[in-house]
A and B are shown apart, each in its own frame.
Chain A
Amino acid sequence: MASEFAVEMQDVVKQFVTPEGGILSAVNHVTMQIKDGEFFSLLGPSGCGKTTSLRMIAGLELPTDGKILIHGKDVSQVSAFQRPVNTVFQQYALFPHMTVEQNIGFGLEMMGVPRAERSKRVSEALAMVRLPGIEMRKPNQLSGGQQQRIALARALINKPEVLLLDEPLGALDLKLRKEMQLELKTLQREVGITFIYVTHDQEEALTMSDRIAVMSNGVALQIDQPEEIYERPATKFVADFIGETNFLDGVVRGQNGRDVEIDLPGSGTVHIESSRTFTTGQQVSVAVRPEKLTLKKEAQGGNNLKGRVEEVIYIGTDTHYGVRFAGSHKARVREQNATQANKEIAKSGDEVTVSFTRTSPRILTE
């Protein structure tokens, strides 16, 4: 292997001409390095450029600018059929006129593998996806979940250097999807192939990935491990897209080492720990997850903001409290229903104190 990276995107741009004649930059100067053997997810809302990025790695689209390297080799202008990658398509794209065996064996046939060996390896691939003995069936005789596995087997049998998956579980129902998530993760560890996984489902990305690239408007906003992305989002968009976040807008009052004092106009003053340096008077947003907030009757250590409960939503495992502070700030507080008593912390209209530690929020500027 010429490089420790399975795939590198170097300053890649992809522009399309819109029907109106304008130019749309689907991918805008994206640079990322995907390590060998990694389960890497491209996460973002529809239209963020994640699928276009994947299609460029597959060779189904050629970049307008920039370079794409697979194991150190520049493949930017190489056609899809000559690239050492395979794709599991969103709608599976199984060949309807071929049997399962012909579908899975298609890649080997193109490589010129003799029929007997092909058939043996197809059986092995079917066993791997736990669907043995259905060689002679047609795709339309299979359920959605089975088609999904056939599509997976059809790609993996070619032993690609990188496997690309374009929202492969999107068409499955929730229970099956959860099952397949675990199965895919296990499979990836077994075969040791680099997986690049496109999804708009943040939970799916957090569950499965070694690393995630969060994309928006053709730009990769943050590339990091799931925990980092969740705990230390780089931008407001990332904080908002991954999980739920309260944003409390304020102004920096001053900074003493790691301690940043922020005034939330009308609602109070908070102290947040941060390794970054802020200037006095700077507009910032204090981002804090609902589960890091607690409701108290009176102030305790850390930060305390007084407010009134506006709504109480019981959702089984947790109860969500919508709290409005004295200023225009609002926050959602999440309390676990671990004991019966927890359910009666507060009711709508109650005056409460919302408290949180100095380390749990992030100060975001963009």
Chain B
Amino acid sequence: MLKYFRGKKGLQLFGLIGPGALWMLVLFNLPVLIVMFISFVERGRAGGIKLPPVYTMENYAQFFNACTSQFAGPECDPFLYLGIFGNSVRIGLIVTLWCILLGYPLSYFIAKQKPIWRDALMILVVIPFWTNFLVRTYALKSVLATEGLFNTFLTNLHIINQPLDLMFNEFGVIVGLIYGYLPFAILPMYASIEKFDHSLMEAASDLGAPPWRAFLKVMLPLTMPGVVAALVLVFVPVVGAFITPDIMGGGKVEMIGTLINRQFGVARNWPFGSAMSLILMLLVLVGVIYYFRSTTEETRRAM
């Protein structure tokens, strides 16, 4: 068998690529097609879809105008879902911005250490990944809760009298998301900063650039690939996040992820959930393509 493969380039290639390609095809691409299909049919009464399938655009219409739903009351808000979507994008941008603002100096600090410290610090950044995401989020909850570590600490020190509302609001969700996704921002930015040739900053300084101008004109443009990678790696999963808003928001902060999650659970509206999933996917895709287009050119010029 192996002898047969030897010397046959095409078969060798197939042997190497085949299993992975098949895996992607069956377990990734096919489900997406199924979701696409479901988004265009009517819902079944107890979840799932109506059989035989009845094709409709209703699910998409409902997203852009909530009042087209058969359950819409007289005081319905047509922009209900668009609003939640917008809110998700807003939270996504806030979290991404903070992850980059917090992550960049930290990455820089780590990259400036001696190799042995660098490795140790990077392990500290990555360690949370070894713990289940859900468990980590619950751990954070025990810190930020009304009776949690943080509030108890401040109350006992008499810095505050009333516990602060750190959870079950947008603040808690944003803190939870930053906590969860900061390492995704640090890793690519660290990789870029570590490769950055620091003598270029000396050259800029030598040519009369104060530190902040040297940073903006030389270091930032040359480490931009890392920043853009961080932006994509944080923004994309955060916009669609549902575990963190669910736990940290306590059902009070609605994001597109929690909304979709609900359609496949209590709301038993798979087709609407599928439609929203695809809209989210499309928007993220457009955003990512746009961003890569606008930056690769910049990066190409940089390199």
Asked if A80 contacts B205 (CB within 8 A), the reply is yes
A106 touches B204 (CB 8 A): yes
Q: Which of B199, B205, B211, B302 contacts A97 (CB 8 A)?
A: B302
A96 and B204 contact, CB distance less than 8 A: no
How many Å lie between the Cα of A364 and that of B140 in the bound state?
Answer: 75
- Residues on B with beta carbons closer than 8 Å to the beta carbon of A58: 206
Give B218's nearest chain A residue, CB to CB. A95
Q: A25 → chain B, closest Cβ, in Å?
A: 22
Contact digits for A58-93, partner B, Cβ 8 Å, 1 yes 0 no: 111000000000000000000111100111010101
A-chain residues with CB within 8 Å of residue B218 when the two chains form the complex: 95, 97
22 contacts between A and B (CB under 8 A): A58-B206, A59-B206, A79-B205, A80-B205, A81-B207, A82-B208, A85-B206, A86-B207, A87-B203, A89-B199, A93-B197, A93-B200, A93-B203, A96-B200, A96-B222, A97-B218, A97-B221, A97-B302, A106-B209, A107-B207, A154-B207, A155-B207
B205 pairs with A95, CB closer than 8 A: no
**Residue contact A93 to B222, C-beta cutoff 8 Å:** no
Inter-chain CA distance A110–B202, complex, in Å, is: 14
**In-complex Cβ contact of B202 among A19, A80, A82 (8 A):** A80
Q: Mark A89-112, 1 if CB is under 8 A from B, else 0.
A: 101011111000000001100110
Are A110 and B203 closer than 8 Å at their CB atoms? no
Does B9 touch A at the CB level, under 8 Å?
Answer: no
CB within 8 Å of B: which A5-23 residues: 19
The total of chain B residues at the interface (CB under 8 A) is 23
With A91-B199, A93-B200, A97-B221: A110-B303 Cβ-Cβ less than 8 Å: no
Given pairs A81-B208, A89-B202, A154-B207, 17 additional interface contacts (CB within 8 A): A59-B205, A59-B206, A60-B202, A80-B202, A81-B209, A81-B211, A82-B208, A87-B206, A89-B206, A93-B202, A95-B204, A97-B222, A107-B208, A110-B209, A111-B208, A140-B303, A158-B207
Query: With the chains together, A82 CA to B206 CA distance in Å?
Result: 8
Scan A276-302; emit 1 where CB is below 8 A from any B CB, else 0. 000000000000000000000000000
Minimal beta-carbon separation of B183 from chain A (angstroms):
27
A80 in contact with B206 (CB, 8 Å): yes
Question: Hey, which chain B residues are within 8 Å of A106, CB to CB?
Answer: 204, 207, 209, 217
Q: Tell me the complex Cα distance, A209–B302, Å.
A: 38
Distance in angstroms from B226 CB to nearest chain A CB is 14
Q: Which residue of B lies closest to A58 (CB)?
A: B206
Roughly how many angstroms separate A91 CA and B202 CA in the complex, as a whole number? 12
Q: Mark B104-139, 1 if CB is under 8 A from A, else 0.
A: 000000000010000000000000000000000000
Q: Nearest A residue to B201 by beta-carbon distance?
A: A93
Q: How far is the CA of A92 from the CA of B126 in the complex (A)?
A: 37
Interface pairs A-B: 5 shortest CB-CB: A97-B302, A93-B203, A110-B208, A107-B207, A80-B205
Q: Hey, which chain A residues are within 8 Å of B204, CB to CB?
A: 81, 95, 106
Q: Are B209 and A19 in contact (CB under 8 A)?
A: no
Q: In the complex, A106→B200 CA distance in Å?
A: 12
Most chain A CB inside 10 Å of its own CB: which residue of B199, B203, B206, B210:
B206
Q: Does B301 contact A (CB under 8 A)?
A: yes
B252 at the A/B interface (Cβ < 8 Å)?
no
In the complex the two chains form, what is the Cα distance from A19 to B222 in whole Å? Answer: 29
How close is B55's CB to chain A, nearest CB, in angstroms? 52
B213 located at the interface, meaning its Cβ lies under 8 Å from any Cβ of chain A in the complex: yes
Known contacts A19-B114, A89-B199, A91-B199; A96/B205 CB under 8 A? no
Please report which residues of chain B, range 151-207, place their CB below 8 angstroms from some CB of chain A when the two chains form the complex.
Answer: 197, 199-200, 202-207
Residues of B194-246 at the interface with A, using a CB-CB cut-off of 8 Å, are 197, 199-200, 202-211, 213-214, 217-218, 221-222
Chain A's closest residue to B303 (CB) is A96
Rounded to whole angstroms, the CA-CA distance of A158 and B206 in the bound complex is 11
Given A95-B200, A96-B302, A110-B213, are A86 and B206 also a contact pair (CB < 8 Å)?
yes
**A261-B15 Cα distance, complex, nearest whole Å:** 88
A140 closest partner in B (C-beta) = B303
Complex: chain B residue closest to A107, CB-CB: B207
B301 and A97 form a contact (CB under 8 A): yes
On chain A, the residues within 8 Å of B217 by CB distance are 106
| Cβ contact within 8 Å between B114 and A89 | no
Given contacts A95-B218, A97-B301, A110-B213, contact A60 B200 (CB under 8 A): no
